[in-house]
Structure 1
C-alpha cells in the first residue's frame, strides 16, 4: 500500500511540475510555445489550452495535497519518524570487514 501511494505521489508531483511549466506566463506562450505549442489554439479552441491547463493544475494540486496528507497519516499511525529511522541507521553496529591475508611478495634480486 505504501509503495503504491508513494508511486502515485511521485507521478502526481511530476505531472504537476510539467503542467505548471506548460502554462502561459504573463508574456504568453510558456514552455509549451517553445516546443511548437503555438498550434494549441486550433486544438483547444479560441482561448487556447490555458483554461484546460489551469483546471488540470487544480486537480493535480488537490491530488498532491491528498496524497501528502494520507502519507503523513500512515507515518503517524505506524509510530515512526524519518528522524527515528536515521538515528537507528547511525546507531546500528556495522559489520566488520572480513580480514583477507596479503600474499607474500618476494624480494627483488640484487643486480650488481
Structure 2
C-alpha cells in the first residue's frame, strides 16, 4: 500500500508541475505557446487550453493534498518518526584519538661553543 501511494504521489506531483508550466501566464504565453499552440490553430480551439488546464490543475492539487494526508496518517499510525529514529540510534560517543607522537627534533648546534 505504501509503495502504491508513493508512486501515485510522485506521478501526481510530476503531472501537476507539467500542467502548471503549460498554462498561459498573464501575458498569454506559457510553455504551451512555445510549441506552437497559439490562437485559432490551437488543438483546444480559439480560447486555448486555459479552462481545461485550470480545472485539471484544481483536480491534481486536490489529489496531491489527499494523497499527502493519507501518507501522513499512515506514518502516524505506524508510530514512525524521523525524530524517534535519530534519538534511538544516536551514535555512541567515541573517545578522542590518541595524540600522534611528534618526532624529536635535535637542538640546533651553536657554532660558537665548539
TM-score interval for Structure 1 and Structure 2 normalised by the shorter chain: 0.7 to 0.9
Alignment TM-score, normalising by the size of structure 1: 0.72
Q: Partners in 1 of 2:9 and 2:40 — Cα distance?
A: 29
Kindly indicate whether the alpha-carbon contact (under 8 Å) linking 1:41 and 1:47 is maintained by their aligned counterparts in 2. Answer: no
For residues 23 and 89 of structure 2, the distance between their equivalents in structure 1, rounded to whole angstroms, comes to: 43
* 1:68 CA drift (Å): 0.4
Query: Gapped runs of 5+ residues in structure 2?
Result: 93-114
C-alpha RMSD over aligned residues: 2.0
| 1:82 paired to 2:78 | no
3-state SS in 1 of match to 2:11 = helix
- The secondary structure found in structure 2 opposite 1:26 is coil
Distance 1:31 1:88, change over 3 A: farther
Query: Contact 2:38–2:48 at 8 Å: present in 1 too?
Result: no
**How far 1:67 sits from its partner (Å)?**
0.3
In structure 1, distance between residues paired with 2:36 and 2:83? 46
Q: Which runs of 4+ in 1 moved over 6 A?
A: none
1:13-92 pair list within 5 angstroms: 13-38=13-38, 41-88=41-88, 90-91=90-91
Aligned residue pairs total: 92
- Which has more helix, going by share of residues? 1
TM-score computed with the length of structure 2 as normaliser = 0.71
**Cα distance, 1:34 vs structure 2:** 1.4
